Chain A
Amino acid sequence: MKRHVVLATAVIFAAGAAFAETAPTEVTFEEGAVAQSLTGVPGNPEEGAKVAATRPLGNCVACHEISALSADFQGNVGPSLNGAADRWEEAQLRGIVIDAKHTFEGTVMPGMYKTGPFIRPGDAYTGKAAPADLPPILTAQQVEDVVAFLMTLKE
């Protein structure tokens, strides 16, 4: 009985350690791509679709047309994301969402999982200075959700 509990705890602990979230500062890019999941938990494409359409979150539709989403006023600062999964591997899409500047030099696309260094970082859209522990725009799991959603965009 006692052995059992110890064993179970050990397993949970090991699982926790193996899938510890990758912090924004610890992400490693290879030619712009990020092979490893940030969380070890598979992304949920439906949640990802919400993140992509919501302004304080990813707000991908501000700049990209995504026909699978019903959000109005989809922008065209970036290319259409229809068929994105036909053009990119999952690891490449993860890299683009985390920080597209590793894939597209000088791009205007913001890094969604990045905590700096920034010039005059603000506290979201308040115009005030950012707190010292400025969180990334998306959480690690939201990044995985968006990547899972992008992987559904096939033509």
Chain B
Amino acid sequence: MTLRFSRTTFAAMAALAIGFGPAIAEPVDDELVVNEELTITTKAAAAPHLDGHMSEVYSGWLFRTDETRAMQMDDFDNPMFIYVERGAEAWTTAEGTEGKACADCHGALEEGMKGVRAAMPKVNAAGALWSMEDYINDCRTNRMGAEALKWNSNEMKDMTSAISLQSRGMPVNVAIDGPAAEFWERGKEIYYTRFGQLEMSCASCHEENYGNNIRADHLSQGQTNGFPLYRLKDGAAVSIHQRFVGCVRDTRAETFAAGSQEFRELELYVASRGMGLDIEGVAVRP
């Protein structure tokens, strides 16, 4: 007997010999309708660049329990709306030496910020890849004369939440070609790199094992369309990069910092894996 199996051979063997293989449990069959009026696409055919990796993409919402899913179906039950409300207020509040508010340049939040979240992160005029946090801080420091907000501060999450909500129900729409291509390629490389003492990549959990359980956690595809989102376990909003930090740390690796070039590139690549899904603009997760 030779001991070196490929994973698929092994799975087939295990299924034959002992009656079960690693089960790919399906995400739930449910539809996300918010406030009984807005239907959000949580399941879609995978984008062509995922050929050979995945055929369908699913929002993390489909992997959660009935109770957690329900919290996202009504804005009154969604704890993220505390952040959204504070962010909407900050939108019209003048700050900094120029005495300007966001609204003075961008107009109403609902119009000025429509679709912005769906296209993030994106390459700026100077050719750098920026996340929404970078754009917010650029306005604050260069146009308002205000201080930059810390990446994971409540004030930053207030603003990213209020802006993300304006793309709710719009499909993820990141550019991955042209000037974005090199960033996307590097993000993809990070996604498949097996980091840390546990030698696990993002794909180890979110591509090869979504639907399975790792201890108490039901693994999703690790999509970012729901961010920023409320994490019940933390009792607080969580940013995309904050989630990346946690996932990399859990491989017993030295993480990258929130806001780092690496995480912006990873953010672009992971966002592109969610093409076809709608922005949930402030989701709820366990």
Segment touching B, from A1-9, A58-66, A143-151: A58-66
Query: B145 contacts the other chain (Cβ, under 8 Å)?
Result: no
Query: B3 contacts the other chain (Cβ, under 8 Å)?
Result: yes
Query: B22 contacts the other chain (Cβ, under 8 Å)?
Result: yes
B73-114: CB near A (< 8 Å → 1, else 0) gives 000000000000000000000000000000000000000000
Minimal beta-carbon separation of B246 from chain A (angstroms): 8
Task: Tell me the bound Cα distance from A22 to B204 in angstroms.
Answer: 30
Q: Given known contacts A125-B250, A126-B249, is B5 in contact with A105 (CB within 8 Å)?
A: yes
B22-33: CB near A (< 8 Å → 1, else 0) gives 110000000000
Cβ–Cβ contact A118 & B20, under 8 A = no
Interface size for B (C-beta < 8 A) is: 41
Contacts of B204 in A (CB 8 A): 108
Query: B259 contacts the other chain (Cβ, under 8 Å)?
Result: no
Query: A14 contacts the other chain (Cβ, under 8 Å)?
Result: no
Task: Tell me the bound Cα distance from A21 to B218 in angstroms.
Answer: 39
Minimal beta-carbon separation of B278 from chain A (angstroms): 29
Cβ–Cβ contact B214 & A122, under 8 A = no
Cβ–Cβ contact B10 & A104, under 8 A = yes
Minimal beta-carbon separation of B203 from chain A (angstroms): 9
Interface size for A (C-beta < 8 A) is: 45
A93-107: CB near B (< 8 Å → 1, else 0) gives 000000001011111
Most buried by B among A77, A101, A105, A106: A77
A residues lining the B interface (CB < 8 Å): 31-33, 55, 59, 61-63, 72-80, 83, 87, 92, 101, 103-108, 110-111, 114, 118-130, 134, 137
Q: Which 9 A-B pairs have the closest CB atoms?
A: A127-B249, A73-B216, A110-B198, A32-B3, A127-B255, A62-B215, A129-B254, A108-B204, A31-B3
**A-B contacts, 17 listed (Cβ < 8 Å):** A31-B3, A75-B215, A76-B213, A79-B20, A101-B199, A103-B3, A103-B5, A104-B10, A105-B5, A110-B198, A121-B254, A122-B197, A126-B249, A127-B255, A129-B254, A134-B197, A137-B252
